[in-house]
Structure formats: C-alpha cells, structure tokens
Amino acid sequence: MTSRRAVLGSAAVGTALAALPEVAHAATPSQAATPQAAAPSGAADTGDGRWRLRNRMDSDGAWAEFLRRQDLVWRRMPTLWHEGPFLGDGRLGSMVYREPGANSIRFTVQHGEVQDHRPEFGSGWGTCRLPVGHLTLDPVGTIGAVDWRLSLWNAELTGTITTDKGSLTLSALIHDGILAARVTADGDEEVRWTFHPEEAISPRKISEAPPAGYVANPPWTTRTNGDVEQVLQPLTGGGQTATAYRRSGGSLLLNVAHSHPSDTRAGEASLRKIQRAASYGELRRQHTRWWHAFYRKSFVSIPDERLQSFHWIQLYKVASASRAGGPVMATSGPWLEPTPWPAVWWNLNVQLEYWLIHGSNHLELDSLATTLRQNQEQLIANVPAAYRADSAGVGRSSDMFANRGVSTPGSGGEAGNLTWALHNVWLSYRHSMDEALLRDTVFPLLRRAINYYLHFLQPDSDGKLHLPSTLSPEYPVVPPKDTNYDLALIRWGCTALLEAAERLGVDDPLKPRWQEVLAKLTPYPVDDNGFMIGADTPYAQSHRHYSHLLMVYPLYLVNWEQPESRELIEKSVVHWHALTGSHRGYSYTGAASLYAMMGRGDTALSYLKKFFDTTTRYPCRANTHYTEAGPVIETPLSASQSLHDMLCQSWGGVLRVFPAVPDSWADVTLHDFRAQGAFLVSAVRTGGVTRFVRVRSLAGEPLELRHGLTGGPVTALLDDGSRARTRPTDDGTLAVELPKGREVLLYAGERPDLVISPVAPGEPGEPWGLP
C-alpha cells in the first residue's frame, strides 16, 4: 500500500512565477535580483553559540575563477552546429561554426517566437518554428586557426581567428533581444559581416514533402532606414518576421521580432529596437550583471571535472534557452537547425527540459509554467467540443501556444500529456510553495486535465475503473487499454487535486469523485518482467521512453521506500534496459535517476556516463548538445537532473541529502540547492563523510530530513545558536521545527569547519568544445 506521504510528495502538487520568493525576474534581464546567500560570510563560530557559513564563493573573483575552469574552448574550427559555441537569452539564439563550403564563420540567427500560423497543416508544417537566417563573418584571408572561449561567467564568446592575411579578434553575446558582436582586424584583415535570410519553410522538409494544399510563404523583402538594414518576411497565414541590423566599423547589432496577426508590427519593433540599442560595452554591462546574479543563486561542486563542467554548461544552456514569460522550449530550444521536430513535444521532451531548474534554484526560467498559465483557453479548445465545458488537454506536439488537439481515450492516441506537463508546474509550486501558482495555474488546469480522463473511465465486472485504449508514448504496438502511462498520471493527478483543494481551502464538488477514482482505479498491469505497457501488452521490444515506468520516476507513486515494491521496481528497470536497440540518451539519464532513487550511486553514475560514451550511437556532442535525427535539447538537460538526483532528493515529504553519491566522489559541496517545501540546502562531504547540513526554510513547511550524518551524536542548532527542536520519526527521518526564514545546522560529533568551497578534482577531464 502506498503511503499518503509517498504519493503526495512525488511532486507533492497565479500570477505565476513573478510571485515566486527570492527569484530573479528574468523577463527583465537588466533588472536582476540580488543574489541569494545562505548566510553572511565570516567565522564559523561567533563565540556566543551562533554560527555562520564561510562561503568562499561570495565574490565575483571566486566565481570568475571557478567558472573559467568550466568554460568551453576551441582550438579547432567547429564545422557542425553541435560542435560550436552557442548564445541565447531565452528567445533569440545563435550557434557559431564554419559556414558549410565557404571560408566564413556562421552565426545562426534563430528565435523561439518565430513560427508559422496555419494550424490546419499540423505542428510539423502549419505551426512549426520557422528559420530566420544567419550571419557570416567573412575574412579576407584563408582561415587557418581559431582560439575561442565561451565564458560561462560572462555568457560571452571571445577569441581570435587567424588567417593568412592577419587575424580577427571577436567577442559576441546576446542580451535583451540583441545579438551583439564586436570584431577588430589586424594585419591585412578586414571586418566584413553579411546577413543571409533563409526561406521561411518548416525544417521538417529534410524528412518529408509539404502536405497537400500547402502554399509556400512569400519571399522576403529588404529595406534600409538610415544605418539600419531590415529583412521583412511576410507569412501566408498572417503575421511577419523582421530582422533588423546595424553595422558600424567592426561592431554589429541585430534584433529579430515576430508579430501575428499584425503584418507590420514586427518591422516597426525591430527597427525601433536597433535604433535605440546601446553600445556593445553598455549591453555587456547589463548582460554580465544578470548572469553574475544568476550563477550565485546555487552552487554544486563534484570531483569529476568533466561532469562538473557539463553541469554548469547545462545551467548556462537552460538560461540561454528559457525565461519565464517567454516561449516554452521547443525540442531544439531557441536554436533551429534542419530537424523533423520543429515544434514543442509534450510526451516527454518538454518535461525533461525543465527538471533541473528546481534544484538549481532557478525558477525564474520556468517558461513552461507561464506558457500553460497564459494559454488556458487554447488548452480547453484542444479537446473535442463535447468536453470543453470542464476539460483541457494538448496533443503530442504543438506550437509555442500549445495549439494541438488531443486524442480521445479509445481512439488509441495520447491523452495524458497535459497532466504530465502539469506535474512539472506542480514541482515548481512545491519548490516555491507559491500559492498563487497553485491557485491560478496548477489547480484549474489539472482539474480540467483529470476531468478529461474521468469522461472515459468505466467500471468493469471486477468493480474497478478502467480506461479504454490510449498510447503509451512511442511504444510501437496497437495501443492497449489501461496503459500504465495514463494510470500513473490519473493517480498522481487525483492525489494532487485533493492536496491542492485542501491547501487552497476549496470545497470542490469533485472531491468525492477523485477519492472514488483513487479507491477503484484498476491496478497497474504487471507480469513476470515487471510493469507492462498496458493491459494485455507486455514490455516486449526495445523502447527508449520510460512511459510505462512513470509511476516510479518521476512521480514516485511506487518507490524504493516501499519494501513491497522493490522487487517489482528493480526487475522492471532491468528488463527495460535488457532489451537494447532503441535506447537513446535519455534512456540512460532516466535509468541513472531510477537507480539514484534506489540509493545506488555507483550504478546511477555508470548509466549517466553511458550518455557520454562516444562509442554509443547517440552520445553527448562536443558542445554538450545532443542530436538524433535533429537537435533535441531535453536529454543533456535531463542528465543534469540525474546528477541532482544523486546529490539531493525531496520527494515524499522527506529531504534526503547525498542519497546516492558514488563511492568515487569522496568530496562534494552543495549550496542553496532548492528542495520541495521551499527549502535551501547546503551540505559538505569530505573524505566520503557528510560533515554538515544546513537547511533554510523559505516557507515554514514541515521539515523531515535524512541527513546521512555519522560519527557521533547529531547536533541541530538554529541560526541564533539555540538548539532546534527535533524528533525522530518512525521511518528513520529527523523532524525539525524550522520556522519560515530561519536556518538550522546539523552535524555529528565536534562542530566541523563550516566552509562552502569548490572541491579538488579527483577525475581530471579536458574542457568541452574542441580543445
């Protein structure tokens, strides 16, 4: 029997993220929030029983030094998008690599809001992301060598290009909608920029012909206004994309704007943006102010040098790809290349993209939550007309406005994708305890998403409620009834709605129905190999997706702390990976997180490292991006979440510190890691032993802790030096009374040095990029 706490805490379930506590409001990059600090730096013991952490990462100099060791570097010219530097601000994105077949450097120019507007042709062609264009930096001489660095601390590309005529020294960044570049020439070199518009047609053209009746978008036009040049792209479905740029000496400023249904507003907006733009130096000052505050919100250091660098690059990547209030991430993020997936995918991709923002304390990046909040009417319109009075949903793929009809159970399509996406938003709520987010986004939309299921649940002769045929995402057989994918989402959704109603003080008339569903919903189909795909459908062929294991991860409805579930969990995971052939990168990151839940750090690390194994068919690429048939951003980002799961977990109402640290990681530092219940966790492990744990409460929620401290009696001190009130619980956790805004320090034996600092490398690794 699953305990109530285990169910609720899985993700235990506005004016959305603007109200989140202590969050930098990324929608206005120039107005970055003051970075958080766990406690003032200073002596560990003040002499009166009070304590403070000594945070050696409390200065710009310390951060610059640390992050420089995580930078990507290039000593060879990147020739493909997944080899080169990348820049972004959550909307505008650029990747840098050699122009194919030319003696030039390409800076792609793509934008997360640029899309077509013809839903009758589906998300692959009718509402897909559309290409904008690319810049080339065209040297006079033949390119011989490059020496580039992508600085994470400054979010800026700098370096040189050496040719047989001299050299070019460049710097480039993207800030507040402007791609800014500054280049100086030496010797006989010259700075020459060219903008190349690209045809406004779906990148899906690489894999299929346009659908019948599809009419191409009109050709672009150009115009000049003073020193600003523009490319204007009208769209057959209405609207306009406009690119404006200004070249002055070696500097270039460029902006992309998109409007719909207006055919002129984008042109006006992009022109005005460039005319009013500040100099490169001033943009850089605003830009670095935002990024420096961003990084200081949390800190992780592990002894695996290459994996540590990878993790920090993913934080840079997700902040380059997403900001609250901006477009939800498509499968390629803001960087668009030829791909069969030029849209937002809702049956795994979008969920994996956002997990790492929670623990890393970056809820200001949650464009998924704001997208769902802003498009509730569209989500209602996505269900058949007969169900719109009380239901909502989204199909497999959509544009940035979630415009895609959802299948009806019984027709064999996917029905649960909105419910799974709302689990992510529930996680944002649980990590912030922001009731506005719960009230205005999670509760009304989850109520509708579960209502959609309720229309189709039917009792059978066994007295249980059953679901007609639906698709377990990507499993290539006739869709069964009672798919585990949907049963898990229904159970989680009903449980979360009951908790949300209680939290919000809502006496919802559907409460008895949710309780009935939890009592009568058919059990998960299982066989001798573990969880099946659905009733009468075993897991019998290789499958990259873990849709049939959703109740284990990330929902934790069935989990390792239920002794009766352990055998079933383990044989299910083993059987999933025993059938090889279709596994991809996120198959390995998913397994890593599953084994982290089991507390098996070494096994978790072994699966995580399979993602980086260049002998596999689909490894992580040189710049930490990932590609199958096209760019897919979710897998590297999910790898960082696997790392999080090894270092700190907070499902089931219990905060677990260092639950699955591999034996090879004797030293680990964790600082201001955000956990469910709105706690900030700091902890240090040295010599394979946890030395101290500090927890700060942002919301005053109950704290139950598994601290892992050994070597003597555990002391728990509040931030004023007084003893915290604690009690052991019946399942081995320590309950701590911790009021909102207060901190507690726990250690075993003598008080250790309370120092937050990077750990020494134990496993050296070369930089990412092409060093």
* Per-domain boundaries in the chain: 77-295, 366-535
At which residue do the structure tokens 């849209």 appear?
Answer: 343
Which helix (DSSP H) or strand (DSSP E) does residue 223 occupy? strand 221-225
| pTM score over 0.85 | yes
Using the predicted structure, report yes or no on whether residue 409 has a pLDDT greater than 50.
yes
Q: Which amino acid is at 114?
A: V
Contact (Cβ atoms closer than 8 angstroms) between residue 422 and residue 373: no
Q: Which residue from 203, 244, 233, 235 is spatially nearest to 216, judged by alpha carbons?
A: 235
User: Residues near 344 by Cβ (< 8 Å), separated by ≥ 6?
Assistant: 123, 328, 329, 330, 331, 350, 397, 398, 399, 400, 402
d(Cα 631, Cα 628) in Å, to the nearest integer? 7
- Give phi and psi for 101, each to the nearest 5: 70, 15
Contact (Cβ atoms closer than 8 angstroms) between residue 76 and residue 146: yes
Angstrom CA distances, 589 to 546, 553, 599, stand at 11, 12, 15
Contact (Cβ atoms closer than 8 angstroms) between residue 160 and residue 146: yes
- Find the angle CA(77)-CA(81)-CA(84) to the nearest 5 degrees: 45
In three-state secondary structure terms, 422 is helix
Q: What pLDDT, in 10s, does the model give residues 270-313?
A: 999 999 999 999 999 999 999 999 999 999 999 999 999 999 99
b/e sequence 342-362, b meaning 16+ C-beta within 10 Å: bbbbbbbbbbbbbbbbbbbbb
Contact (Cβ atoms closer than 8 angstroms) between residue 310 and residue 621: no
Q: Which amino acid is at 290?
A: W
Q: What pLDDT, in 10s, does the model give residues 41-82?
A: 333 444 568 999 999 999 999 999 999 999 999 999 999 999
d(Cα 699, Cα 739) in Å, to the nearest integer? 8
d(Cα 19, Cα 364) in Å, to the nearest integer? 10
d(Cα 262, Cα 258) in Å, to the nearest integer? 9
Q: Is the dihedral of CA 639, 641, 645, 647 positive or negative?
A: positive
SS (H, E, C) 342-390: CCEECCCHHHHHHCHHHHCCCHHHCHHHHHHHHCHHHHHHCCCHHHCCC
Q: What pLDDT, in 10s, does the model give residues 135-156?
A: 999 999 999 999 999 999 999 9
Q: Which amino acid is at 366?
A: D
Check residue 4 and give its pLDDT: 35
Cis status of the peptide bond prior to 479, with omega within 30 of 0: no
Q: What pLDDT, in 10s, does the model give residues 301-324?
A: 999 999 999 999 999 999 999 999
Check residue 528 and give its pLDDT: 98
Check residue 39 and give its pLDDT: 37
d(Cα 133, Cα 111) in Å, to the nearest integer? 10
In sequence order, what are the beta bridge partners of 703? 736
User: Residues near 106 by Cβ (< 8 Å), separated by ≥ 6?
Assistant: 95, 96, 97, 98, 99, 100, 134, 135, 136
Alpha helices in 579-653 (DSSP H): 585-597, 601-610, 634-647
Question: How far is C-alpha 347 from the chain's CA centre?
Answer: 15
Phi-psi region of 349 (alpha: psi -120 to 50; beta: other; left: phi over 0): alpha
CATH assignment of 366-535, given 1.50.10.10, 3.40.50.720, 1.10.760.10, 3.40.190.120?
Answer: 1.50.10.10
Q: What pLDDT, in 10s, does the model give residues 199-229?
A: 999 999 999 999 999 999 999 999 999 999 9
Using the predicted structure, report yes or no on whether residue 19 has a pLDDT greater than 90.
no
In three-state secondary structure terms, 432 is helix
Across 509-519, average pLDDT: 98
d(Cα 264, Cα 92) in Å, to the nearest integer? 20
Q: Which residue from 338, 81, 332 is spatially nearest to 199, judged by alpha carbons?
A: 338
Structure tokens at 68: 């420089």
In three-state secondary structure terms, 666 is coil
Across 659-677, average pLDDT: 98
Q: Which amino acid is at 292?
A: H
Q: What pLDDT, in 10s, does the model give residues 570-617?
A: 999 999 999 999 999 999 999 999 999 999 999 999 999 999 999 888
Check residue 476 and give its pLDDT: 83
Structure tokens at 212: 């019948």
User: Residues near 23 by Cβ (< 8 Å), separated by ≥ 6?
Assistant: 17, 33, 363, 364, 432
At which residue do the structure tokens 């690059």 appear?
Answer: 313
Check residue 477 and give its pLDDT: 84
Across 357-362, average pLDDT: 98
Check residue 47 and give its pLDDT: 52
Distance spanning both ends of the chain, measured CA to CA: 53
- Give phi and psi for 190, each to the nearest 5: -135, 155
d(Cα 160, Cα 184) in Å, to the nearest integer? 10
d(Cα 318, Cα 540) in Å, to the nearest integer? 35
d(Cα 166, Cα 335) in Å, to the nearest integer? 31
Structure tokens at 127: 């509402």
- The correct answer on CATH 2.70.98.50 for the domain covering 77-295 is yes
- Give phi and psi for 766, each to the nearest 5: -75, 160
How are beta strands 465-466 and 458-459 bridged, if at all? antiparallel
Q: Which amino acid is at 357?
A: I
Contact (Cβ atoms closer than 8 angstroms) between residue 189 and residue 168: yes
Q: How many other C-beta atoms can be found within 10 angstroms of the C-beta atom of residue 652?
A: 27
Q: Which residue from 198, 135, 195, 196 is spatially nearest to 170, judged by alpha carbons?
A: 135
d(Cα 251, Cα 272) in Å, to the nearest integer? 18
Check residue 761 and give its pLDDT: 94
Name which of 596-600, 626-630, 692-696 the model is least confident about: 626-630
User: Residues near 579 by Cβ (< 8 Å), separated by ≥ 6?
Assistant: 539, 540, 541, 542, 543
Using the predicted structure, report yes or no on whether residue 526 has a pLDDT greater than 70.
yes
d(Cα 726, Cα 410) in Å, to the nearest integer? 52
In sequence order, what are the beta bridge partners of 160? 147, 169
Q: How many other C-beta atoms can be found within 10 angstroms of the C-beta atom of residue 281?
A: 10
User: Residues near 422 by Cβ (< 8 Å), separated by ≥ 6?
Assistant: 372, 442, 445, 446, 449, 493
User: How sure is the predictor about 29, in pLDDT bands with cuts at 50, 70 and 90?
Assistant: very low
- Give phi and psi for 387, each to the nearest 5: -115, 5
- Give phi and psi for 94, each to the nearest 5: -145, 135
